[in-house]
Structures are given as structure tokens and as C-alpha cells.
């Protein structure tokens, strides 16, 4: 077993770290306050190749492995997860699925500009009444011969406004339940698409979240991804990889908060010494470090399995559940170590704590990960 990163992996990690620590940090608090989409940073990260980092170079991507992806997402998330979520959604939920299951025409027309970072993608699965229960799709994709007619509403869509290319999951044959669901590539400027208000969220405030309404939207037949009725399994497979990205994001939030707490504890004095010298604080730091290291192993193992073409769905569910849960614990302790300063915005840790909460909710709640894991234990 080799725990060393390759030179290329280290280089990607360093590039993400440099950008996060030099650039993202400058306006992270302001963007959070204004709930402003980080357009400038996304453009810069696209230029550096991060939006299509895992896509095959043949389709305009960077051809990097999932380990590099984990390292990059962790570094970006140490500073700002509203930015890293765009990298994660584009790479895992949009590009990967089109690359693996799309036609050559779809890859030429849609994947190339996505992988080159010229366009942003969004993944539209959740609905007002289909969040955790993803197969209860109400959005209809009626088969009209040479096109599908889309009608319905999607909720909580990351990148909804900034994306140009949507991957939409919708029901074509309700009587077939999940076997009647399809996945489609839909251009955001198609007639009949409208957006709800920008969601005013607790955390990840500058990520661009809206509901999306479809009214008689015509989608060409050739934009269906995969066989007729493959849409639910498509969504599940795409989410298996997406959860590695969100696990890495949670890991980054936890390690970012830890770095701040460690630094603060070495500077702040109480009872005649730096607070890190008090066992009450030192033991907190130790517990936080152990949890972060364990989360890192989970994330890297899931990525390694993916890179080596081995089943990774359960590993990614474990990585996501554990990393998200410890991100909440670690950020809460980081605020506690900062005391009153942790509760105000300028010290960053309260923002990381608010951001951590979402990692327990999106791309499958912690409870959904437990369903996935326990079903795998109980089958046969
Ligand atoms: N890979 C391939 N196939 C899979 C699969 C996987 N990971 N998981 C399930 N399937 C298949 C099953 O094998 C089954 O097919 P067969 O009958 O042919 O064997 C079929 O799919 C149905 O499976 P289930 O009976 O397990 O389906 P279910 O209705 O019980 O749901 C679930 C399973 C895991 C709970 C699923 O609904 C789920 O993942 N829910 C959470 C949804 C989610 O993560 N939403 C996130 C939204 S996206 C987002 O958050 C993006 C963002 O903003 C950043």
C-alpha cells in the first residue's frame, strides 16, 4: 500500500491551495454576506482547468484522477465551499455522466465546452416532493416522437442561474416507477424554462441555488442520455461519484476550521499561557485531528477505488457520511476554541460551521448514506 502522492497530484493540490489561500480568502466573507455568486473565481478556476479536471483530454478536460480531484476540492473548501461546489457539480454530476453514458454527438456538443470550463453545468434531480426519495419524480418528460415535452419543477438546484447546460431527471412512464425515469441534456435558455428566486441560505450563501420551472419545454430526442428508462440508475451512478466530491468538501471545511483553531490557540493567552497549553483545548485539537485524518482516508480510498475501476458506491457513501458528520463536529469545536471571536464573522470559523451543515444534507443526507450502507450490509 502506497500512501504517497504522485508529483502530478502534489502539483494540483498546491495549485488549488495557492488559489484558495491567495485569492478566495480575500473576498470570502463579503461574498457570503452578499450571497454573491463567485463568477470571477469560477472563471479563473475554469482557466486553470479545474472545472473539467477529470474529463478525458480528448473531450477538452484535464484527464486527472479522482485522487487529484479530492486534493483540489479539499484545498478550495478550506476557504470557500461555495466555490468548490461548482467544481464538484461540474466534474462529477455533469461532465462524468455525459462522458461515460453520452453519445459522441452529445460529448462533442455539450461535454467539450463544459470540460474546457467555457460553460457551467447543473444537475436537476431534487423536486419539492422528491428529495431523499429521488425515484418519486413528478417532473414529466412526455415522449412526443422526435422530442420530449418537459413539465414540472426542480428544487434546490446548485448553479441554476450560472449554468448553461442542465442535466435533468424526469419521469416518462409513471406506471414503470423508477424504471420509467430518463435523464436529458437541456439547454438552459430553451423556451419555457424559468427560475425561482435565489435561495437565501444559512451557509454556502454565495453558491447559486434556485428552483427551476419547466413549462412545455421541448427537448430533442437525441438529448436523452442512455437507454430509455435508464435515468434513475444514471442519477444514482452519477451521485456515487458526486458524493466523493462532497465528502472532500466536508473534509476541507473541517481541516480549514482546524487550521484556524490551531493557529488561534497558539496565539490567544488565558490564565498566563497560550490556550493550546490547557488540556481542555489540547484534547479538543487532538480529537479534531484524528477525525480529519480518518475522513481523509475515507475520501482517498473512495477516490482510489474509482481510479482503479473498482466498485466505489459504498465507499463514497461512507466517506460522505463520515466527513460531513465530522465537519459539523470539528467546525463547532473550532468556534468553541475561538470563544466569542468564533461567533463573529471576521474570524471565518462561523462561516465554515454554517457551510458544514449543508454537507450533511445535499447529494444525499447523512441518513440516506446510512440507507445505502446498511442495505449493502444486509443484502444476500
Ligand atoms: N448504482 C447503480 N444502480 C443503483 C444504485 C447505484 N448506486 N443505487 C440504486 N440502484 C438501482 C437498484 O439496483 C435498483 O435497480 P434494480 O431494481 O434493477 O436492481 C434501482 O436503482 C432502484 O434502487 P432502490 O430500490 O435502492 O431505490 P430507492 O427508491 O429505494 O432509492 C436511494 C435509493 C439510495 C434512497 C436514492 O433514492 C437516493 O440516493 N436518494 C438521495 C437522493 C440524492 O442524493 N439527492 C441529491 C440531489 S443532487 C444534489 O444535491 C446536487 C447539489 O445540489 C450539489
Does residue 354 fall inside a structural domain?
Answer: yes
Which of 97, 127, 233 is the best mutation target for the ligand 1 pocket, counting ligand atoms within 8 Å of the beta carbon and taking the most? Answer: 233
313 lines ligand 1 (CB under 6 A): yes
Q: Is the residue at 286 inside a domain?
A: yes
**Position 1 in a domain:** no
* 141 and 193 both lie in a single domain: yes
The verdict on whether 142 is a catalytic residue reads no
Cell of 241: 461519484
If you measure from the C-alpha of residue 182 to the centroid of ligand 1, how many angstroms do you get, rounded to a whole number?
Answer: 13
β-pairing, 147-158 with 140-143? antiparallel
Cα(136) to centroid(ligand 1), Å: 11
CA dist 293 and 255 (Å) reads 9
Crossing angle for the helix pair 39-47 and 7-19, to the nearest 10 degrees: 160
Q: Is the CB of 239 under 6 A from ligand 1?
A: yes
In a domain, 206, yes or no: yes
Please tell me if the CB atom of residue 232 comes closer than 6 angstroms to any atom of ligand 1: yes
Reply yes or no on whether the pLDDT at 212 is more than 80: yes
Query: Does the C-beta of 240 come closer than 6 Å to ligand 1?
Result: yes
Cβ–ligand 1 contact at 20 (below 6 Å) = no
Confidence of residue 115 (pLDDT cuts 50, 70, 90): very high
Whether 136 is in the pocket of ligand 1, judged by its Cβ within 6 Å, is no
* Same-domain check for residues 284 and 202: no
CA 31 to chain centre: 19
Compute, in angstroms, the gap from residue 361 CA to the centroid of ligand 1.
Answer: 15
Number of domains observed in the structure of the chain: 3
Q: Across the strands, what pairs with 219?
A: 148
- CATH assignment at residue 291: 1.20.140.10
The confidence band for 143, taking pLDDT boundaries of 50, 70 and 90, is: very high
- Note the pLDDT tens digit of each residue in 354-378: 999 999 999 999 999 999 999 999 9
pTM: 0.97
pLDDT confidence bin for 1, thresholds 50/70/90? confident
pLDDT tens-digit profile of 185-199?
999 999 999 999 999
Please, is 340 exposed, middle or buried when counting C-beta atoms within 10 Å of its C-beta (0-12, 13-18, 19+)?
exposed
CA–CA separation, 232 vs 230, rounded Å?
Answer: 6
Mutate to test the pocket of ligand 1, among 137, 211, 364, 377 (most ligand atoms within 8 A of CB): 364
193 in the same domain as 166? yes
Cα atoms found within 13 Å of the Cα of residue 119, Cβ hemisphere only:
18
Q: Does the CB atom of residue 258 touch ligand 1 within 6 A?
A: no
Residues 74-96 have pLDDT tens digits of 999 999 999 999 999 999 999 99
Any ligand 1 atom below 6 A from CB of 357: no
Alpha-carbon gap, residue 19 to 236, rounded angstroms: 32
Same domain, 130 and 20: no
Same domain, 17 and 98: yes
Q: Does any domain span residue 2?
A: no
Mean pLDDT score across all residues of the chain: 97
What's the whole-number mean pLDDT along residues 138-149? 97
- CA 145 to chain centroid: 35
**With a 6 A CB cut-off, is 132 part of the ligand 1 pocket?**
yes
The values of phi and psi at residue 169, to 5°, are -100, 130
pLDDT of residue 4: 96
Residue 31 shares a structural domain with residue 151 = no
pLDDT, position 292? 98
pLDDT of 380 over the 80 cut: no
Q: Residue 106's domain is classified under what CATH number? A: 1.10.540.10
Give 66's DSSP letter. Answer: H
Of 55, 90, 115, the position where a domain reaches its end is 115
The Cα 315–Cα 335 span in angstroms is 30
CATH number at residue 132: 2.40.110.10
- The Å distance, Cα 235 to ligand 1 centre, comes to 7
Mean pLDDT of 60-67: 98
Are 308 and 272 contained in the same domain? yes
Tell whether ligand 1 has an atom less than 6 A from the beta carbon of residue 173: no
Rounded average pLDDT over 244-264:
98
Residue with grid cell 447529494, as numbered in its chain:
363
C-alpha dist (Å) from residue 261 to 21, 37, 258, 326: 16, 27, 5, 15
Q: Which atom of ligand 1 is nearest to the CA of 136?
A: 29
Residue nearest to atom 10 of ligand 1 (CA): 233
Range of the structural domain that residue 145 is part of: 121-232
Confidence of residue 317 (pLDDT cuts 50, 70, 90): very high
Ligand 1 atom closest to the CA of 313, numbered from 1: 7
Query: Annotated catalytic residue: which of 75, 99, 350, 363?
Result: 363
Q: Are residues 251 and 332 in the same domain?
A: yes
Phi-psi sector, 156: left (phi>0), alpha (psi -120 to 50), beta: left
Cβ pair 279, 309 in contact under 8 A: no
What's the CA-to-centroid distance between 177 and ligand 1, angstroms? 13
> In angstroms, what is the span from residue 364 Cα to ligand 1's centroid?
9
Contact criterion met (CB below 8 Å) for 85 and 207: yes
Indicate which atom in ligand 1 lies nearest the CA of residue 157. Answer: 53
Residue 190 domain flag: yes
- In whole angstroms, what is the distance from residue 170 CA to residue 49 CA? 31
Do 204 and 101 lie in one domain? The reply is no
Instruction: Using the predicted structure, report yes or no on whether residue 138 has a pLDDT greater than 80.
Output: yes
What pLDDT score does 41 carry?
A: 98
Is the beta carbon of 198 within 6 A of some atom in ligand 1?
A: no
Choosing from 94, 115, 136, the residue where a domain stops is 115
Check whether residue 214 and residue 319 sit in a common domain.
no
Query: Residue 125 and residue 222: Cα distance in Å, rounded?
Result: 20
Nearest-CA residue for ligand 1 atom 51 is 363
Length of the chain: 380
∠ CA 32-33-37, rounded to 5°: 50
223 grid coordinates = 438529448
Amino acid at each position: 500500500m502506497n500512501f504517497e502522492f504522485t508529483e502530478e497530484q502534489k502539483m494540483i493540490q498546491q495549485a488549488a491551495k495557492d488559489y484558495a489561500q491567495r485569492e478566495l480568502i480575500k473576498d470570502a466573507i463579503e461574498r457570503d454576506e452578499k450571497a454573491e455568486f463567485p463568477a470571477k473565481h469560477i472563471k479563473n478556476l475554469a482557466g486553470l482547468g479545474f472545472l473539467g479536471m477529470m474529463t478525458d483530454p480528448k473531450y477538452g478536460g484535464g484527464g486527472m484522477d479522482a485522487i487529484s480531484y479530492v486534493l483540489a476540492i479539499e484545498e478550495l473548501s478550506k476557504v470557500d465551499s461555495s466555490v468548490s461546489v461548482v467544481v464538484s457539480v461540474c466534474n462529477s454530476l455533469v461532465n462524468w455522466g455525459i462522458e461515460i453514458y453520452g453519445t459522441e454527438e452529445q460529448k462533442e456538443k455539450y461535454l467539450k465546452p463544459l470540460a474546457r470550463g467555457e460553460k457551467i453545468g447543473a444537475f436537476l434531480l431534487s423536486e419539492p416532493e422528491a428529495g431523499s426519495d429521488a425515484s418519486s419524480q413528478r417532473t414529466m418528460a412526455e415522449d412526443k416522437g422526435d422530442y420530449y415535452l418537459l413539465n414540472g419543477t426542480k428544487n434546490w438546484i446548485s448553479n441554476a442561474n450560472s449554468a448553461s447546460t442542465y442535466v435533468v431527471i424526469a419521469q416518462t412512464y409513471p406506471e414503470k416507477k423508477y424504471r420509467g425515469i430518463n435523464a436529458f441534456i437541456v439547454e438552459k435558455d430553451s423556451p419555457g424554462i424559468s427560475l425561482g428566486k435565489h435561495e437565501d441560505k444559512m451557509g454556502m450563501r454565495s453558491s447559486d441555488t434556485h428552483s427551476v420551472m419547466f413549462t412545455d419545454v421541448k427537448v430533442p430526442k437525441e438529448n436523452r442520455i442512455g437507454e430509455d428508462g435508464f435515468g434513475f440508475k444514471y442519477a444514482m451512478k452519477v451521485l456515487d461519484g458526486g458524493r466523493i466530491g462532497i465528502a472532500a468538501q466536508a473534509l476541507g471545511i473541517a481541516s480549514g476550521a482546524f487550521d484556524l483553531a490551531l493557529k488561534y490557540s497558539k496565539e490567544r493567552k488565558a490564565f498566563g499561557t497560550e490556550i493550546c497549553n490547557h488540556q481542555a483545548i489540547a484534547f479538543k485539537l487532538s480529537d479534531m485531528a484524528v477525525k480529519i485524518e480518518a475522513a481523509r482516508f475515507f475520501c482517498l480510498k473512495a477516490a482510489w477505488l474509482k481510479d482503479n475501476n473498482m466498485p466505489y458506491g459504498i465507499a463514497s457513501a461512507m466517506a460522505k457520511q463520515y466527513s460531513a458528520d465530522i465537519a459539523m463536529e470539528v467546525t463547532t469545536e473550532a468556534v468553541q476554541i475561538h470563544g466569542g471571536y468564533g461567533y463573529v464573522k471576521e474570524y471565518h470559523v462561523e462561516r465554515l460551521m454554517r457551510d458544514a451543515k449543508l454537507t450533511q444534507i445535499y447529494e444525499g443526507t447523512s441518513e440516506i448514506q446510512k440507507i445505502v450502507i446498511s442495505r449493502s450490509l444486509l443484502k444476500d
